[in-house]
Structure 1
């Protein structure tokens, strides 16, 4: 996925390559990487799109196609969700301050992260210890950061 991010990848094809069923592959992938295969792929595509947009010689549509997205609307929505600004606004902004930083280092600090679903945000908690805002949760329900805590069920 990291190397072939611009190719039309889907879970059944990836699962076949890994000799797994699609469901098992998706569950194993999420357990290992903390996000779904599709979300991981889109993050890689957005990372590459950011690099192409910083160069400034391609239009947003050209960048969308170059990273393997087929819908400009979906690309723009996901880019805005992960980066916090539209692809056009990102392209128009100055990027000279990071030009001296090696790409391998910049990639670590500029990796898009979805605010709505941090890694490990849906881990079951069943030991009654305080979570999030300090309220104890002892019913084994998944707890998501930022959401209201559910009361324990009888």
Structure 2
């Protein structure tokens, strides 16, 4: 009886270590910024999201071969132009996979574009499973919405008003 109890106890302890050893510890977020990251822009300059805390931000995940992403560019350009002078809002594109520089040039993208790394770490961080994928971040660095579809200019403005 004692031997069986010992085996059950030992097995339970081993199972606990196995299970907790397989669950990754979530990264400690930067104070005030839910999902911080650093990526390079297309000219090789480093961009860290938390450096812009206090400013509402729209992140737009896209791929170069995505027709819906192409149709969203004029709306994002318009929103970017509207707020660029006041620096009241940042519009940031995050390109996934290859062909991003060509996409930016051919589509006339006017907002900042960053290139996700080869492992698509930032896309995974934001649970991007389809594109376009828009993330709205308020001044406190909190995500207010994530929309996994192409948005019209009025749709963008509606969600932007929530973070201004």
Normalized against structure 1, the TM-score is what? 0.25
Q: Which has a greater percent of strand? A: 2
The structure number with the bigger radius of gyration is 2
- The TM-score, its normalising length taken from structure 2, stands at 0.24
Instruction: Name the one with the larger helix percent.
Output: 1
